[in-house]
Amino acid sequence: MKVTWIISLGLLLGAVSETQAQEKDPDPVAVVEVQRYQDYENLESITSTELSPDGKFVYAASFNADTATVWRRDAKTGKVEHVQTFKDPETDGLLALRMSPNGKYLAGASIKNMVTLYSRDETTGKLALLHAIRASENGAGPFHFPIEVRFSNDSRFVYAACSGTLEVFRIEDDRLVGVQSETANDRVSGLRDVDVSPDGTFLYTTGGHTLVVFTRDTETGTVTPTSDMVSSTDDLAALEGVNSICCSPDNRHVYLCSGRFVDHSAVIALERKSNGSLEVIQTWMNPMSGGLFSADVNVQTIPSEVFSGGNEIEVSPDGAEVWALGTESDTVVRFRRDPETGLLKFLGHHLVAGQEPAIGPAGICFSKDGRFAYVADEKEASLVVLERKLSGEE
């Protein structure tokens, strides 16, 4: 669906300066590293992190190590203790590992062209493989290169972002059953991420310079494409190489992050309309990413040394902050979120390496109270635990 934009003259004159971008309210929160769990053998190319609903366990996928790793988490300190390294030669190369909302399952996207389903012991946190579904098996479509998976809100369905299709699976007797293989008229080429709206009625995919909105049938799990935004046809430079998407907990806004594999590093804020369609309300861009297109709305800039190689993005559980990962700048970039407007205000950044920048952060998740963040440091084969400390806290 073609989107029509109205752009002010001031916007066409260019983005705000880097100095303006860094003008911000005094930040009452300091971000400190409280633990770095490093394991070059078992966490090589760690790319995703996930917490159990009860907050007791942390899970991670590491595709070069061919592992899924489990840690027990101390809710008070945020620190973790190793519980299990799960490795199965049949299902190695995990690119993502995601938890079901009911805490019963985890699903994985494997570089071996499989989508996997795991059971989880709620007491020990340990994983066991239930089923691995391959292309064209058990009702699945001829999918290729699944890179991300998400559960439906009721934990009954799994959605897999693949190279060219969005795959829909139903969980039946602890196995995955193919329900739908959706191409959206070739608008889901090169998918990187998928997310389900908090109310379960819409689904969003990103990748290949495109954002696609789907309506979702909550009974059957099937989806229908309703609208899209494309970087070239909609004059949105920030959508080039869009990598990650997340919804605000209040269901009012959606946030995108782009730049991991292209020149355009950006964070994009969108407002969700009553019909599920999305409207861009703000764009934060690395000024070294290239020129703006006419529809890049309300553009602010972030210094290139602060944010490049935009990767995963997450909204804090209370909806107060948005954190974006700059893999190439080795940073976590923080924004304050206005819950009414959805607009973002730059707060600062945290260097994940702690010393010299190095390509690193690839995945992030928050504890339920929003106090701790668990970052997958891909290059350093580490799970990094960050704590948001209020001023005056020791």
**Dist. CA 193–CA 208, nearest whole Å:** 11
- Count of positions (residues) in the chain: 394
User: What's at 90, amino acid-wise?
Assistant: E
Nearest Cα neighbor of 312 from 232, 195, 216 is: 195
Flag the least confident range among 23-27, 173-177, 181-185.
23-27
Nearest Cα neighbor of 151 from 191, 97, 112 is: 97
Flag the least confident range among 44-58, 188-202, 275-289.
275-289
Residue-wise pLDDT for 379-391, tens only, equals 999 999 999 875 4
pLDDT at 4 over 80: no
pLDDT at 279 over 60: yes
pLDDT at 231 over 90: no
Greater confidence (303 vs 69) lies with 69
pLDDT of residue 289: 59
pLDDT at 14 over 90: no
Buried-state track 189-223, b at ≥16 Cβ within 10 A, e below 16: ebbbbbbbbeebebbbbbbbbbbbbbebeeeebbb
pLDDT at 223 over 90: yes
Token readout for 142 is 């001829």
pLDDT of residue 26: 46
Residue-wise pLDDT for 286-343, tens only, equals 877 555 555 567 889 888 889 999 999 999 999 999 999 999 999 999 999 999 999 9
Do residues 93 and 110 make contact, with C-beta atoms less than 8 angstroms apart?
yes
pTM (2 decimals)? Answer: 0.90
- Judging by beta carbons within 10 Å of its beta carbon (0-12, 13-18, 19+), is residue 340 exposed, middle or buried? exposed
Do residues 256 and 267 make contact, with C-beta atoms less than 8 angstroms apart?
yes
Residue-wise pLDDT for 187-197, tens only, equals 998 899 999 99
- Judging by beta carbons within 10 Å of its beta carbon (0-12, 13-18, 19+), is residue 173 exposed, middle or buried? exposed
**Dist. CA 107–CA 97, nearest whole Å:** 6
What residues are paired with 267 via a beta bridge?
A: 257, 284
pLDDT of residue 229: 86
Q: Region 162-172: what's the mean pLDDT?
A: 97
Domains, the chain: 1-38+231-394 (2.120.10), 40-214 (2.130.10.10)
What residues are paired with 70 via a beta bridge?
A: 59, 84
